[in-house]
Amino acid sequence: MEIFYNDNNLVIKGNNKNSILFNINTDNLTIDGFDISYPWEYEKSWILLEVKEYKNTLFYKFLLDSKHVSIITSDNFEIKEEILSFFWDLDILIIIWTKEAVKIYETIEAKVVIPYWEWKDLFLNTLWQHIEEVSNYKPKSEIIWDVIQYINLSK
């Protein structure tokens, strides 16, 4: 798996060359060109994906190369059990960074956190994570559970 930016798309490319494109401006997600914009369970190109709608916001969770990945596109919701259970056993959390997103991030346990949006550096600095930008991220085969890794992707 590899995660990187291509223009306004966050690209998540699997080992089988299948890819997920997440447009950070429109919050639109596609798998190999197939538009995923409705709550449902999908399987496309060997990727299992679940989309849940909660408080008029879509949440994405998928399994790619044996990694559980979730994308949170909004901070405009209250964390309750009905949505919290959606984020079980996460390896990688891709989250929009806003001031209100801190409460969400602190409630969800993830091994790797990748913030996006123009204020992502503020998110990392708030957490005392002064890390350099990287052009891409390739998770190791086994992600360490007790250490949270923060990734600062350059656009």
* % of the chain surpassing 90 pLDDT: 39
Q: What does residue 106 show for φ and ψ, rounded to 5 degrees?
A: -70, -25
Tens of pLDDT along 78-93?
888 888 888 888 999 9
Q: Which residue has the tokens 């008029």?
A: 56
Confidence band (pLDDT; 50, 70, 90) for 147?
confident
Confidence band (pLDDT; 50, 70, 90) for 103?
confident
Contacts of 44-47 with CB under 8 Å at 24 or more apart are 45/14, 45/16, 45/18, 46/14, 46/16, 46/18, 47/14, 47/18, 47/20
Res 153: pLDDT: 86
pTM exceeds 0.85 for this model: yes
Positive or negative, the CA dihedral 30, 103, 90, 7 is positive
CA distance 108 to 28: 23
CA distance 129 to 15: 29
In 3D, which of 20, 25, 27, 26 has the Cα closest to residue 4?
Answer: 20
- Contact (Cβ atoms closer than 8 angstroms) between residue 22 and residue 5: no
Q: What does residue 73 show for φ and ψ, rounded to 5 degrees?
A: -105, 0
